[in-house]
Amino acid sequence: MLSSIALFASFVLGVASQTSPIVISTTSGQLHGVEQDGVMSFKGVRFGQAPVGQLRWEPPVPFVSAQAQNVTTLGPACLQQFAFATSAFTQSVFNNPPPASENEDCLFLNVWAPSTDTKEKKPVVLWLFGGGLNFGTGSLPGYDGTSLALNQDIVVVTINYRTNVFGFPSSPDLPLAQNNLGFLDQELALDWVQLNIAQFGGDPRQVTIMGQSAGSVSVASAIVRNRVNATFRAGVLLSGVPVSSPVTPSFTSFNGFATAVGCSQSPGPARLECLRRVPALTIRNFTNGPLSGSFGPVTDNVTAFADPFARIRDGSAAKVPILLGNMQDDGSAFTVGMTNLTAFLEGELPGAAVSPDFVRSLYPTAQNDSQVIIDSLTDLMFRCPADLWSAATVNAGFSSVFRYSYGAVFADLQKFPDAGAWHSSEIGPLFGTFIRSTATPAEVTWSTTFQTAIANFIKNPSESPALNWPKYIPGPPAKTYAKLAYNGNVEPGNFVQAVASEDLDNTCDVLWNQFL
């Protein structure tokens, strides 16, 4: 299965380290990767043909080759979109450091696997990045799979998928079921894993899909659409699940984009042909400019559905074990500088008569309206959707549901004022890619504790991932909602505090769920 070709010395961070080229045969070709310090890595593996030219806005086409492929360098990110008004802040928090390059030709994945060549195949996790389905890549340094693979003895796969207008165009020029191309890219990557992961020592029957933010929404969407023949056995959903969405798509952003880049034909084949000739950089410049609209999934009843809860209730979703939850302060990164609670409520819930004083009463420990806004957005966008999802899946007979709220806060991770346990601050501890030179001993301990708990679920999703973390049961009196690393508790024996769901979900029941 594995063959070493030569042995040579290199230095990483000033420390001598043995590396060895290694070759694995896959449907993408003879992959020439590297084995180093107990981990094999294969970076920039092409799994889909370049989605350029006539393949722009087409479903992904598998890349198949028998040729030698040098896969020692991370592939480029797909072309990114950062909302113009908040671009500088968004990139400083969520895209720092940025990927080395971007390209429309971007359907690549990366694999990290333990070097141990055993007969027993290992569990596999496939990571779906966040970024609002507008930006992101599986090649960010924070997603490096070395620590997970080495310390947890699992195979780690990270992938790229198309985002923004390239991946979710919401275009009337395309068949409706061809609009959510990013989801189709994810499905193709999962198919690649099924075909090839055994060559890396992984078990195709033990694949867990895991994602954060938009990646978590992607995991949930895969669960909702895959009733039979799912290419995964479990899902980890970190801060993001889909709720109800419009049945009828809006084509406003795509039509505006088409006109702006010089394709003024009526929607249809002629305009699509014109748009396929527009240089990718021209498109990126527009989508990152002040006149661009936003792009996202449409309800096609194939990859995305208007009512995911109906799919869960009627048995149309894949009844796989899930672990889901949110950060204690998911909303802080999206509310920086907001102090006007009335304006916030009008912006988030236009036309809804919600009293600011009533909202303040729901958060009695908040010291000011800025904190009320953070807590409100955390609940409205993250905690309450997870509340609805966890209850729906338990009631539908999903065998194992584990729910959490993440409270770990470390000084060196506070990238902006009042960040707290902010949206995506769990990534470094989970992947073991936090900055060790600034980390406290507690942060180092927490990374090992948290990573091990998530890996335990990946290895055996039907069992508790940690001591005192029970399967979730919604409602009182069951204490099954796991508060993780609250009050500085980061040790394996004390990081889980199981409480009743109403302790944290009261605001959802009283107010926010009615808008979801």
CA distance 364 to 7: 63
Tell me: do 129 and 76 sit in the same domain.
Answer: yes
Which residue shows structure tokens 């996202």? 296
Tell me: do 233 and 319 sit in the same domain.
Answer: yes
Residue 325: inside a domain: yes
Tell me: do 221 and 276 sit in the same domain.
Answer: no
Q: Which of 478, 354, 357, 337 is closest to 418 using CA atoms?
A: 337
Residue 51: inside a domain: yes
Residue 192: inside a domain: no
Q: Which of 99, 321, 132, 305 is closest to 213 using CA atoms?
A: 132
CA distance 318 to 233: 9
Q: Which one of 296, 329, 359 terminates a domain?
A: 296
How does the average pLDDT of the chain come out, rounded? 94
Chain segment 187-199, per-residue pLDDT in tens: 999 999 999 999 9
Tell me: do 275 and 235 sit in the same domain.
Answer: no
Residue 284 dihedral angles phi and psi, to the nearest 5°: -65, -40
Both structure tokens of 280 = 């990718």
Tell me: do 169 and 152 sit in the same domain.
Answer: yes
Instruction: Specify the number of domains making up the chain.
Output: 2
Residue 16: inside a domain: no
CA distance 209 to 258: 35
Question: CA 129 from chain center: how many Å?
Answer: 4
State which H helix or E strand residue 69 sits in: strand 68-70
Beta strands in 321-448 (DSSP E): 322-327, 401-406
| Residue 8: per-residue pLDDT | 28
Q: Which residues of the chain have pLDDT under 70?
A: 1-17
Residue type at 455 in one-letter notation: A
Tell me: do 209 and 256 sit in the same domain.
Answer: no
Q: Which of 371, 485, 382, 386 is closest to 419 using CA atoms?
A: 371
CA distance 294 to 356: 29
| Residue 101: per-residue pLDDT | 94
Both structure tokens of 447 = 């990374």
Tell me: do 290 and 402 sit in the same domain.
Answer: no
Both structure tokens of 184 = 């189709």
3-state helix, strand, coil in the chain (%, to 5): 35, 20, 45
Tell me: do 230 and 350 sit in the same domain.
Answer: yes
Tell me: do 145 and 229 sit in the same domain.
Answer: no
Residue 11: inside a domain: no
Residue 188: inside a domain: no
| Residue 14: per-residue pLDDT | 34
Burial track 50-67 (b if 16+ CB lie within 10 A, e otherwise):
ebeeebbbbbbeebeeee
Tell me: do 315 and 259 sit in the same domain.
Answer: no
Q: How many C-beta neighbours within 10 Å does residue 453 have?
A: 23
Question: CA 478 from chain center: how many Å?
Answer: 29
Domain enclosing residue 347, as ranges: 204-245+310-516
Chain segment 109-164, per-residue pLDDT in tens: 999 999 977 789 999 999 999 999 999 999 999 999 999 999 999 999 999 999 99
Contact in structure between 263 and 257 (CB atoms under 8 Å): no
Residue 455's SS3 state is: helix
Q: Which of 217, 352, 400, 413 is closest to 297 using CA atoms?
A: 217
DSSP 514: G
Tell me: do 132 and 241 sit in the same domain.
Answer: no
CA distance 32 to 24: 7
CA distance 126 to 109: 10
Residue 2: inside a domain: no
Per-residue three-class SS string for 323-359: EEEEECECCHHHCCCCCCHHHHHHHHCCCCCCCHHHH
CA distance 458 to 321: 10
CATH number of domain containing 209: 3.40.50.1820
Tell me: do 381 and 345 sit in the same domain.
Answer: yes
Residue 1: inside a domain: no
pTM, two decimal places: 0.95
| Residue 17: per-residue pLDDT | 61
DSSP 47: -
